[in-house]
Homo-oligomer: A and B are copies of this chain.
Amino acid sequence: MKVSARNVFHGKVSAITAGAVNSEVELTTDGGHKLVAIVTQASVRELGLAPGKPAFALVKASWVMLLTDDAGVRLSARNRLRGTVSKLVPGAINTDVVLTLPGGSQVHAVITSEAVRELELKEGSPATALIKASHVVLGVAG
Contacts and interface: CB of A to CB of B under 8 A. Distances in A.
Interface of A: 1-6, 17-24, 36-40, 42-43, 46-47, 56, 58, 60-63, 65-78, 89-96, 108-112, 114-116, 118-119, 130, 132-135, 137-142
19 contacts: A1-B70, A1-B71, A1-B73, A2-B118, A4-B66, A4-B111, A4-B112, A6-B114, A18-B21, A24-B40, A38-B134, A40-B78, A43-B76, A58-B75, A72-B142, A73-B139, A75-B138, A75-B139, A76-B137
Nearest to A46: B74
A108 B4 CA distance: 13
Contact of A40 (B2, B66, B108, B133): B133
- Give this chain's copy count: 3
Given A6-B115, A47-B74, 9 more contacts: A2-B118, A4-B112, A20-B20, A22-B22, A36-B40, A39-B76, A47-B75, A89-B114, A93-B93
A60 B77 CA distance: 12
